[in-house]
Structure 1
């Protein structure tokens, strides 16, 4: 197969998974990865155990371990292809389409699984199982039989409000009729800062034990049109909102429940890039489970959104300097119904995820700083499904409020919030906004099924 290739390497390469006719570059890299592993497996019997596991496809084999890589040294043969070793070898011998460690779960009897954070890491590919996306339960939507209803517009039509021009960025609560985008980009509207918080670095698997992930609660941004403002618990701020809610049906009124299922869209998220309060370039639609948003000038493809080529005639020097430091940017994974953000840049990224904030009990507008080499779960479909199911009983507006959870904001290099001079995301030089299409479309179908009541369901209706 390859000249001067040791017999054990030939045998291991013979079990490689993947389509026939792989490229010469791919074959060369696979050989280098296997040779690198063979050199590391110096313990007596380790190579034999690896061959036994792969040839028999047996999980009840012993651990095959190599030293755990130091932070930022997760490479196979240096410059060739970055990746955690257990992921690389699971991809080589089991799942060619494997994207990241978040897709893997160790078997119970593995003593050196990557997640255990020991000095040695097991790379036995049959000591890991691939996590499948769990099925989301349908949302049962009751309908009040005696209530006049009208169907809401699709979530894509919620953007049709007239623009509201707020050039002063006053720090006040706004009625939702005013919480819309200024022409050219969203308007930042602060509503008061919250105390800084610190999160232990166990949030990110690759963070050393003595570091912390810095979390600061930001003042609230005015979301894009149609997205409910993130001023804390929306159900507790009725002084600025005239909410109409559904209440449980009294005796004598008929209720029907219809299941509304989740459907995975062709594009799991849409990403827009902003410089200050101006959107730049076209929206990127993500179809691949792993995508990178970086600052390079390569043409974008299905797995990369390159910001370096995007032009803006109004770009100032601060934005120019920031763009030079985006570098490798951020990698986004959509795996098993969860979304992860991994900072690949040499500078931190800053993330505002209402779903993540809900999970940890933080204020909805909290901004989390993700240092280089760290990652954070920023959305979970199962958690969102539970919130959606609970909100249905509270009425149309309670469900509509969840649209804010489907939008995630992320700035490069420069942070914002209570701990920073920049109080709003629209004050940061370079940032992106993710719209999670699956949850948004699910919300749209639930809202359509519910209908929009003109009056609350009650004994007086």
Structure 2
């Protein structure tokens, strides 16, 4: 095995700094300036793919050499060596050595096609998620604990603080979806999302402020006609490379399960997007795939705030209809904010808006809870029009009791998910 010295570029140094920040290591370490991206190169096509997958991680010999603060002639019996060996940073180095060995043992099991799919998913950061990478459900050991393959690669390439496989949820398009204990498991880290944990409720807050001039959006007419502003500024749809799943011949034969409306402040932009498939991607710019492309919706006289927010949508969200409800997976690099009747506290005026970080997913609508609420909800606690089957999702900007924007109509870019009664 030979070590190849490679001088890192500015972009590679930026990637490196991001990794150090995620690991909680100070940026001032000299390792960031000295450690090459490609790491150790091994002979053979498969080994080269493994090296390319792992090369940008800090585990090659140069990283260890440049991060050791002890003099080269330091005696192992001296107090400073004892202190260094017992330090937390030394434990990080030991963990990285073990992580490298365990990961190589996993990647070497994969065929070239699986490695190519995995490499494509990692390099595109999920823009091209690739196919399933199935491996035997064998228990690897990392740090003295069991580390299933999907947990190991999820921790390595996406969430360094990931601790337990129960925190992960397979996407509906993955072969591991709905299979709890099969003989194989998909280890493609971009075929999984991380579950949102419970949040403490916000302080008491009234949905409506009598002194506020801005009225809440009337949902009763949102599915029937365009607003006056939209009728005046009809968007020009530019033909793109993305197919429209909602108008395919096969889709027309099936009943739809939701309609999606895109809003900029109080103006609805574009037509209602009807969803027939089990899942739909809603995005601004996606390297590969189909769905509702918000980047193709043009509107005259957009404000600078809206333009900046639209640029943050990126890969957007994946909305999926599943047996227990409707889930939203945040594929973008910025948080999304969600409000839903089934996320609210029953019989309470407090507005609950959940913040969903990149890479996380949340059940935005619970079927069982919705049925229960329709029989037990007290309408005296609702102000104005109330739609029990409507979900609102804002990109990058939050609203409600914790934000300066009190209403969803103050958010620059947001979605209205209008669910049908068909499950």
TM range (shorter): 0.3 to 0.5
TM-score by length of 1: 0.43
TM-score by length of 2: 0.47
